[in-house]
Amino acid sequence: MITSGDRLKTLLQECHLSPSDLALHRNVLPQHVNNWIRRGVPIARLDDIAGLLCVHTHWLRTGMGPKYRFPPPAPPLDPQDHFIDQDNLLYPTPSPTALAASTHEDVLIPFHRPLNQQLIAVDNRHLRLPREALDSLRINPDHCAALIMPDTSQAPRIQPGAAVAIDRSHTTYQPGHLYAVLHGGDLAIRNLYPMTCNAMRLRPYNLAHFSDELASAQEAVEVLGWVFWWSTLQPCRPDEKQ
């Protein structure tokens, strides 16, 4: 019989957390967490643990009903949706002509790379974007930085190696939106969700190969800015198999 302890063990594995990590979050001994895994999560702890791991209390207790409080993003219904940030539809979408960087008013956004826990500008490397597109989102070009997508965690929405533009004035994140962060000194592009005790959930788009990450208030997670633009290539030619 699968118990709440078994479900807790699976959740910790999905979040790449050890019993000691959870014990640190909840200010208990690691042995207590191991006991919860073996014997089941105590009734008095169910709400707290479920809230920390962003799952429903009823699911953690019984295994029934919806699991996550924040469901994973649905796959695009149309191939063209790969080029639309589904998380930022509250913002007006610029017209196609506004996205054509071909005038003397284009903006050159400097590329940056992470180094020693901070972003460093790369000499003579810029991303060219139309000023009209930035104006449509009320983005000040002086607050922008360009980055390189470091991995496949956002595929197929954002391919590895794609150019990404962020607005560094948006560092107070809104739940569910896409941000660039420095997590333990490494660059990551993730959807961010708040959790209890000022913790943060970092969610990838590519849930088939990446898991959610849980960052406590004590961990070094710096929100660099809101991701408002990216470039990408199709993963393969039409006459090739993926």
237 falls within a domain: no
What is the pLDDT, as a whole number, of residue 12?
A: 87
Is 100 found in the same domain as 214?
Answer: yes
What is the pLDDT, as a whole number, of residue 222?
A: 92
242 falls within a domain: no
Distances from the Cα of 71 to the Cα of 92, 101, 234, angstroms: 25, 36, 27
pLDDT band at 187 (very low <50, low <70, confident <90, very high): very high
CATH number for the domain spanning 87: value is 2.10.109.10
pLDDT band at 77 (very low <50, low <70, confident <90, very high): very low
Measure the CA–CA gap between 136 and 146, rounded to whole angstroms.
18
Task: State the pTM of this model.
Answer: 0.60
What average pLDDT does range 39-63 have in this prediction?
88
147 falls within a domain: yes
Is 132 found in the same domain as 55?
Answer: no
pLDDT higher for 188 or 102?
Answer: 188
What average pLDDT does range 122-129 have in this prediction?
91
* Residue 213: Cβ within 10 Å count: 21
CATH number for the domain spanning 22: value is 1.10.260.40
CB 220 within 8 Å of CB 183 = yes
Q: How much is the mean pLDDT over the chain? A: 83
Is 213 found in the same domain as 118?
Answer: yes
Return all residues near 105 (Cβ < 8 A) that are at least 6 apart: 130, 131, 132
pLDDT higher for 127 or 27?
Answer: 127
pLDDT of 214-229, one tens digit each? Answer: 888 788 789 999 999 9
Is 141 found in the same domain as 24?
Answer: no
Residue 211, domain extent: 81-230
Total domains in the fold of the chain = 2
pLDDT of 44-54, one tens digit each? Answer: 999 888 887 87
Among 145, 152, 151, residue whose Cα is nearest residue 129: 145
pLDDT band at 99 (very low <50, low <70, confident <90, very high): low
What is the pLDDT, as a whole number, of residue 78?
A: 45
What average pLDDT does range 3-17 have in this prediction?
87
What is the pLDDT, as a whole number, of residue 88?
A: 44
What is the pLDDT, as a whole number, of residue 101?
A: 52
Give the pairing of strands 186-194 and 163-167: unpaired
239 falls within a domain: no
SS3 of residue 20 by DSSP: helix
Is 220 found in the same domain as 105?
Answer: yes
183 falls within a domain: yes
81, pLDDT greater than 50: no
Single-letter code of the amino acid located at 27: N
100, pLDDT greater than 60: no
